[in-house]
Structure 1
């Protein structure tokens, strides 16, 4: 069974998917009431699952009519998604960051679910049994090589 954070994340992503505008406006208290949780749980989900690294922009308006606006930033709106991702990877990358990039690529259909599983297996710290900081450097090199192969096919 999914935990509360996953349920909130999936709910917001579904709203975004169904939105004709590419964004949704939500109220933190209404979300908290819907999921029977405290507003800080909503804050946690927004700050960990809806970051710019994950392809989202979150605006918060305070006050009586305050709301949260979540905007999906698709990769294909940029000049070259391959270059953007390549920059995100950098010279070194930890497992968590790599998984976020892989998840985003799969969600936006740049890679298949099968390719995402392969990418995750290669990025796993149990696969890369090398001490830090070398592990993060090798992970970045491997991820860049896999991305280059995928984007070359496009």
Structure 2
């Protein structure tokens, strides 16, 4: 059985998919009531599953009329994707940022699950057993090389 975090994430993504703007606005307490959980569980899902690295922008207003607005950030078209990736990756890339970008590319169906798994394994800190900042510099170079290879038609 899936855990409550997975269920909440799936629910939020499904209503986001139905939204014409790719944006949803929710109230933590209402969502917590819907799933019979505490509001902090909703916060956990939003803060771990809807991050900027994974392609989401989250705005929050606390208080009585508070809300959480989640917006899916779309990747640019294929012609400008190469430039976008160079800007996103830069000269250094931490493991969390790399995993977030891989997740975003997988969600957008730009890469396959197999390609994502390969990219995750090659860029993991266990494989890149170097001291910082060399590890992050090498990870960025590897990510750029893999993505250019995968995206060149």
Fold match by TM threshold 0.5: yes
Structure 1, 120-129 or 75-84: larger mean CA deviation: 75-84
* 1:96-133, Cα deviation, whole Å (9 max, x unpaired): 21111001001001111111111111111222222322
Deviation string, structure 1 residues 55-103 (Cα, Å, up to 9, x no partner)? 1122334555443221111103697222222222121112121111001
Partner residue, 2:51 = 51
**Partner secondary structure for residue 69 of structure 1:** strand
> Which residues of 2 match residues 1-154 of structure 1 at below 5 A?
1-62=1-62, 64-76=64-76, 80-153=80-153
Change (3 A) 1:99 1:18: same
Q: Measured at CA, do residues 16 and 77 of structure 1 come closer, stay the same or move farther in structure 2, by a change above 3 Å?
A: farther
Q: Is the contact between residue 76 and residue 84 of structure 2 (CA under 8 Å) also seen in structure 1? A: no
Name the CA distance, whole Å, in 2 between partners of 1:42 and 1:17.
19
SS at match of 1:29: helix
What secondary structure does 1:75 align onto? coil
If the length of structure 1 is used for normalisation, what is the TM-score? Answer: 0.85
Q: Where does the alignment leave 5 or more consecutive residues of structure 2 unmatched?
A: none
Structure 1 residues 49 and 88: CA distance shift in structure 2, 3 A: same
Measure the CA separation in 2 of the matches of 1:17 and 1:60.
20
Q: How many residues in Structure 1 have an aligned counterpart in Structure 2? A: 153
TM-score (norm 2): 0.86
CA RMSD, aligned part only?
2.2
> Deviation string for 1:21-76 (max 9, x for gaps)?
31122111111112222212212222232222221122334555443221111103
